[in-house]
C-alpha cells in the first residue's frame, strides 16, 4: 500500500483537530493509501516543535515553503487563518502537492479565484485540492443529502440555515484576530456563514444564484487582547442575515451570528420539499429529523433518526448503534474521503471551485448589504 506523506500547516484549534483525525483515520477505515504524519509547520520553531511532539508529527518546521520542496510530502493540509490560505495553497499545488484547505477557502473572491485556477491547473497533473467543509461529513447530514438525492423530499421549496454561537455576547470579550477584517476577512459571515452556505447547497444539490443580505456589528470596540485597557475597532460583522435564491427556485434564509446567547454551536438546518422535510441541529449531531410526507396522515411525523446504524454513511467503521460520534469524527470522515480521492485521482468534494462559489455567495451578501440589502446576483455577469 502506498504511503502518503502529510505536512500540516497550523497547530492551533484546527491543527489539533486535524492531527487527531490524521492519527485516527487509518486505524478505523480501510484506506487505499497509508497517510504518514511527516511534518508540522508553524510560525515559530519552538511552538511547532512542542506541538509536533504533542500531536504526533515526526518533524516540525517554521518554513512551510521549504516543506513544499520535500519529496516525502504528498499532501499539504492548511489549518492557518484565512489570510494565508491562498499563498500556501497555490504554492503547494504548484509544487505538485495535494491540498486540503480549511474553510473558508480565502478571505476574498480574488484570492479564491487564484486558488481555484491553481487547482484547475494542478488537476490536469493529477494533483487534487479539497476544501474542509467538515459538516458535510456528519453522518446525519450525509444521510440528509442522500435522502434529497433519492427524491424523498420531492421538489425543494425552502431552506432555513442558522449558525448560532454566543461567544461575543460579552462586550468585554477581547478583540481577537477573528474580529479583524485584515486577518479573518469577515466575521460571522465567513466563519459561520461559509459553513451553512456550503451545507445548504450540498444538501439541496443546487447553487445559490442571488442574495439579499444584511450584516451587523453590535459592539463596535473591544479590549485589545494584549493590552486590555485599550480598545480597538471591530472591523468584521457580528451577525449576518441573508435570503437566497437557488437556481431551481428554492428560497433560503440564512443567519450566522455570534450573539445568540445560550447557543454554543447551533448549526441548524431545515429543508422543506414538496414530499418531505429534514431538520438538523449540530448540538445533537447524531440525530436527523425526517418528515416523510408520503406517510399516511395518521402516522406522519418527524422521525428522529439516530444516525448510528451500520447502514448510515461512515458508520460501518465505527461502533454499534447508539454509541454516538462527536465533532472530531467529521474530520476523520473528511480525511477518509480525501485520501480515497487522492488514491483514485478522482475530484474530491467540495473542490476549490465549490469553495470559490461559497466565497462568491459571501461576497454577494456583503455587496447586497452595502446596497440596502438589494437582491444581488452571485455572479456579477448575471446581474
193 closest CA partner among 169, 235, 233, 165: 165
Q: DSSP letter at 316?
A: G
- Cβ proximity of 49 and 60 under 8 Å: yes
Q: Name which of 13 and 71 has its Cβ closer to a second copy.
A: 13
Kindly report the backbone phi and psi dihedral angles of residue 246, in degrees, each rounded to the nearest multiple of 5, phi listed first.
-90, 155
CB of 101 to a second copy, least distance (A): 20
CB of 304 to a second copy, least distance (A): 5
Q: Is the peptide bond before 104 cis (omega within 30 degrees of 0)?
A: yes
CB of 315 to a second copy, least distance (A): 10
CB of 240 to a second copy, least distance (A): 10
- Cβ proximity of 364 and 356 under 8 Å: no
Please give the angle made by the CA atoms of 249, 250 and 253, to the nearest 5 degrees.
135
Q: Name which of 56 and 126 has its Cβ closer to a second copy.
A: 56
Rounded Cα–Cα distance for residues 123 and 348 (Å) = 11
DSSP conformation letters of 210-244: EEEEEEE-S--EEE-SS-TTSEEE--S-SEEEEEE
Q: Name which of 243 and 347 has its Cβ closer to a second copy.
A: 243
Q: Name which of 72 and 259 has its Cβ closer to a second copy.
A: 259
Q: Name which of 253 and 349 has its Cβ closer to a second copy.
A: 253
> Cell digits for 120?
484547475
CB of 325 to a second copy, least distance (A): 4
Rounded Cα–Cα distance for residues 359 and 98 (Å) = 21
CB of 102 to a second copy, least distance (A): 15
Q: Name which of 86 and 315 has its Cβ closer to a second copy.
A: 315
Pairing of strands 59-61, 33-41: parallel
Amino acid at each position: 500500500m502506498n504511503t502518503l506523506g502529510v505536512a500540516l500547516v497550523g497547530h492551533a484549534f484546527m491543527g489539533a483537530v486535524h492531527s487527531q483525525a490524521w492519527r485516527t483515520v487509518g486505524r478505523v477505515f480501510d484506506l487505499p493509501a497509508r497517510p504518514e504524519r511527516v511534518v508540522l509547520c508553524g510560525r515559530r520553531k519552538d511552538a511547532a516543535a512542542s506541538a509536533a511532539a504533542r500531536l504526533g508529527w515526526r518533524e516540525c518546521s517554521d518554513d512551510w515553503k521549504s516543506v513544499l520542496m520535500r519529496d516525502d510530502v504528498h499532501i499539504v493540509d492548511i489549518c492557518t487563518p484565512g489570510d494565508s490560505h491562498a499563498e500556501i495553497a497555490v504554492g503547494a499545488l504548484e509544487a505538485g502537492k495535494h491540498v486540503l484547505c480549511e474553510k473558508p477557502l480565502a478571505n476574498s473572491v480574488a484570492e479564491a479565484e487564484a486558488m481555484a485556477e491553481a487547482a484547475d491547473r494542478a488537476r490536469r497533473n493529477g494533483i487534487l485540492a479539497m476544501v474542509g467543509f467538515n459538516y458535510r461529513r456528519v453522518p446525519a447530514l450525509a444521510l440528509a443529502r442522500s435522502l434529497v438525492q433519492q427524491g424523498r423530499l420531492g421538489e425543494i421549496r425552502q431552506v432555513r440555515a442558522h449558525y448560532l454561537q454566543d461567544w461575543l455576547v460579552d462586550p468585554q470579550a477581547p478583540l481577537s484576530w477573528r474580529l479583524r477584517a485584515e486577518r479573518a476577512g469577515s466575521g460571522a459571515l465567513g466563519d459561520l456563514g461559509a459553513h451553512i452556505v456550503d451545507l445548504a447547497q450540498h444538501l439541496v444539490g443546487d447553487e445559490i444564484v442571488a442574495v439579499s443580505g444584511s450584516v451587523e456589528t453590535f459592539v463596535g470596540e473591544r479590549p485589545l487582547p494584549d493590552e486590555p485597557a485599550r480598545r480597538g475597532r471591530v472591523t468584521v460583522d457580528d451577525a449576518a442575515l441573508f435570503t437566497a435564491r437557488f437556481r431551481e427556485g428554492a428560497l433560503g434564509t440564512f443567519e450566522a451570528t455570534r450573539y445568540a446567547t445560550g447557543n454554543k454551536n447551533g448549526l441548524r438546518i431545515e429543508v422543506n420539499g414538496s414530499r418531505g422535510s429534514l431538520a438538523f441541529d449540530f448540538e445533537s449531531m447524531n440525530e436527523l429529523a425526517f418528515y416523510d410526507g408520503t406517510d399516511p396522515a395518521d402516522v406522519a411525523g418527524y422521525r428522529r433518526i439516530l444516525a448510528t446504524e451500520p447502514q448510515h454513511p461512515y458508520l460501518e467503521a465505527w461502533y454499534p448503534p447508539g454509541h454516538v460520534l462527536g465533532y472530531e469524527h467529521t474530520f476523520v470522515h473528511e480525511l477518509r474521503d480525501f485520501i480515497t480521492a487522492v488514491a483514485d485521482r478522482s475530484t474530491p468534494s467540495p473542490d476549490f471551485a465549490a469553495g470559490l462559489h461559497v466565497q462568491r455567495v459571501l461576497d454577494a451578501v456583503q455587496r447586497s448589504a452595502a446596497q440596502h440589502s438589494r437582491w444581488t446576483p452571485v455572479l456579477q455577469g448575471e446581474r
